[in-house]
A = this chain, B = another copy of it.
Amino acid sequence: MVSAAMTSGPPLPPPAVRMSDVAREAGVSPMTVSNAFKRPEIVLPETRERILSAARRLGYVPNGIAGMLASGRSNLVAVLVPSIRNSSFARTIQGLSDALSEHGFQLLLAVADTADSEFQAVESVLARRPAGIVLTGNEHHPDTVRLLRQSGVPLVETWILSEPILDMAVGFTLGDAAGEMARFLVSRGYRHIGFAGYLPAERSRFLERQRGFQSALRQAGLRDDLIFHADETVGFAGGRLAMTELRAREPRLDALFCVTDIFAVGALFECQRRGIAVPRDFAVAGYGDFEIAAEVVPGLTTVRTRGYEIGRAAASLVVERAAGRATTSRVDVGYELIIRGSA
């Protein structure tokens, strides 16, 4: 061998410090080092101190991989969301992250927006033997369901509370919120109320809102077919498009309920451009109570969902289950109609 520089491949990582190195340095057995970290209360304080300082001196970072393999426990929770740009899911993730880190758990994030990618994500996530998996919605491919079921991993579905639920769930009854908003619009005197949503094929999780909305209108004796569907990629533009199309179909259109505040704000902007007086001649209502809802002029009437709390609650369910404590398996975080100036 001529020179180490001939070696190919990545530069060798510095030989990692192992638990046994710390043990030697501190003059104890490896097992005591393990205990000093994982069950400090059973180690004599002075021994513990000696071990910790040895660890510090050597720059020891425990190898969690080995620990998990040996113990069969993992402090990892996987989260599957369809998107993270969506402000609601971002809040949920924040809630999860906050609550999990309080309990020493880590967050594995997978963004999966199709049945296929969800299956793939579940498959690769399961390889890590997570302590729990947090899913969005309750619509999954049968193969995905089978995989999840037989894994035995605690499951939490979020943002819904309707059957079928795989294991545990955190959310609120979706249709109710949309129905309540529809009834509110009716009570304010609006009579030709449109709905702006996403194409059902892509986002069937939004379908429930539409159904709740429609049945409320039918019960009020109003037409329930002023439905507009936008592609998932449109943002604010969705509101504009909905207004254009629905007003063409029904010139007397006097209110628009949107699946998302983003659409709703887009619709408000469009009213501004066209000089339509809101809420006198036209009402706009949204869903989500995103930050912008309180800032636009007039303020947006919307459904406040509690994404952050959903995240925290989901984290709790997993943590409790991991600790072996029996807990509730359904959490209703509720929702709230926020009445501002737009309706």
Chain A contacts to B: CB under 8 angstroms? 8-10, 13-14, 59, 61-69, 74, 83-85, 87, 90-91, 93-94, 97-98, 101, 104, 106-111, 117, 120-121, 123-129, 147, 150-152, 235-237, 262, 265-266, 269, 272-273, 291-292, 294-297, 321-322, 324
Contacts and interface: CB of A to CB of B under 8 A. Distances in A.
B324 A297 contact: no
B97 A61 contact: no
Contacts of A10: 321-322, 324
Contact of A295 (B61, B128, B266): B266
B109 A295 contact: no
B106 A107 contact: no
A111 B85 contact: no
A248 B66 CA distance: 62
Contact of A124 (B104, B110, B292, B297): B104
Given A97-B110, A101-B111, A269-B296, 4 more contacts: A10-B322, A61-B127, A62-B127, A265-B295
Contact of A269 (B93, B266, B295): B295
B291 A236 contact: yes
Contacts of A97: 84, 109-111
Nearest to A236: B295
A65 B124 contact: no
Contacts of A129: 63-65
Contacts of A63: 69, 127, 129
Nearest to A240: B295
A38 to B, nearest CB: 12
Nearest to A153: B13
A227 to B, nearest CB: 23
B109 A235 contact: no
A292 B8 CA distance: 50
A65 B128 contact: yes
A14 to B, nearest CB: 5
A67 B117 CA distance: 23
Nearest to A266: B295
B65 A74 contact: yes
A266 B236 CA distance: 17
A297 B269 contact: yes
A204 to B, nearest CB: 22
Contacts of A147: 59, 61
A45 B117 CA distance: 26
A132 to B, nearest CB: 12
A13 B65 CA distance: 20
Contacts of A62: 127
25 contacts: A10-B321, A14-B150, A63-B129, A64-B127, A64-B129, A65-B65, A65-B69, A67-B127, A84-B84, A97-B110, A97-B111, A101-B121, A104-B124, A106-B128, A107-B108, A108-B108, A108-B109, A235-B295, A236-B291, A262-B291, A265-B292, A265-B295, A266-B295, A269-B296, A273-B297
Contact of A107 (B94, B110, B266): B110
A328 B269 CA distance: 45
